[in-house]
Amino acid sequence: MPQTTTASLSREQRISAVCAGGCRAIAVIVPVAVAGLWAVGSWDLLALVRLIPPDILYDMQTGGPPELWQRVTGAAICLVPALLLSYGLLRARRSLAAFVRGDFFGADVVGGLRGYAAWTFWAAVAGVISVPVLSVAISFANPPGHKELSLDLSGAQVLNLLAAAILWVIASAMARAASLARENEQFV
């Protein structure tokens, strides 16, 4: 191998190792943070970090601080997309670990990338669905006129759905290409 390729490979491996560690850390931190914020957070804090839709904040504050059942319900609903994303990050870590080993086209790379795309897509879908479910569930006991049904579809959510779908298609194409390459190797 020429010297530039070896240096480039080493740098890619180091970056992949850092990213793999980041995926592992974030996969743990996100669900723990969601659960922790629901365990101790005020309505203001929960709205600030977008664990409740900010547009329902006033009606939630009129009922006083979050009750235990609201905390448990809110955490359970918000943990669904968080855990899906975490699993997707662990799948991405699989691809990155293969890069660290110098395996750039193996089954671990394609499987990890495909898994990351799929689980990230489903996390984005769950995030869109969770907003109305959450708003109805936690405002259920509010007095009449203060019950909420909030819908939220931001540009960021649409871009997350699109990016995950695009990555899923690319990973599927890579899987097909790898399969064809293996098939062609048998003829040579």
Digit-coded pLDDT (tens) for 126-178: 999 999 999 999 998 888 888 888 888 888 889 989 999 999 899 888 888 87
Q: How many whole angstroms separate alpha carbon 18 and alpha carbon 156?
A: 26
**Which candidate, 131, 165, 158, 118, places its Cα nearest to that of 52?**
131
Q: So what's the pLDDT on residue 73? A: 97
Digit-coded pLDDT (tens) for 60-117: 988 889 999 999 999 999 999 999 999 999 999 999 999 999 887 788 888 999 999 9
Model confidence, pTM: 0.85
Q: How many whole angstroms separate alpha carbon 82 and alpha carbon 123?
A: 7
Say which residue the tokens 């010297």 belong to.
3
3-state SS, one letter per residue, for 99-120: HHCCCCCCHHHHHHHHHHHHHH
